[in-house]
Amino acid sequence: MKPHRTDGIDPAARSRARRRALQALYAWQLSDSPIEKVISQFETEQDMDVADLEYFEALVRGVAKHAEELDAVLARYIDRTMEQVDPIERAVLRIAGFELRFRPDVPYRVVINEAIETTKRFGAEHGHTYVNGVLDRAAAEWRAQEIQGARR
């Protein structure tokens, strides 16, 4: 039996929200449509009942709002321009980057693990190793205190 969470967070619903956010951000990156249109379209066309809708919207809007800032930091840890990164991996990096930077309530290990699992599911064959390497370095910058505390 799984332990009951007292914080009201459903990890499975959050994972599904991240996967839906990945799909929405992938579409946004390719179409360059306004983010509100992408969100609206996604909410009417996708089964969002099983996902944390509020978290989905926070991720998608947050990534869209902070994409330039996220890309600027992530660019220090990649070996090409963000535009040259595979669109799935780029969306995963942006989502995880947003969570690392703006969602301190989500442990960095959860952020990185979710990004790896999502990339394994939707990305290129070895894309998850690339994502892991980039996010490990980004986490060291954005979550230095948390990482130091975990090592003690």
Query: Cα–Cα distance between 91 and 60 in angstroms, integer?
Result: 10
Instruction: Express as a percent the part of the chain with pLDDT over 90.
Output: 75
CB hemisphere CA count around 90 (13 angstroms)? 22
Quick one: pLDDT at residue 4? 43
Is the model's pLDDT at 150 over the cut of 70?
Answer: yes
Q: Please write the tens of the pLDDT for every residue from 117-138.
A: 999 999 999 999 999 999 999 9
Quick one: pLDDT at residue 46? 66
Comparing CA positions, the residue from 100, 102, 111, 92 lying closest to residue 138 is 100
Go through the domains of the chain in sequence order and give each one's CATH number: 11-151 (1.10.940.10)
Enter the pTM of the model.
0.90
Residue 105 DSSP one-character state: T
Q: Is 128 left (phi over 0), alpha (psi -120 to 50) or beta?
A: alpha
Give the helix, strand, coil percentages of the chain, each rounded to 5.
75, 0, 25
The token pair at 139 is: 């986490």
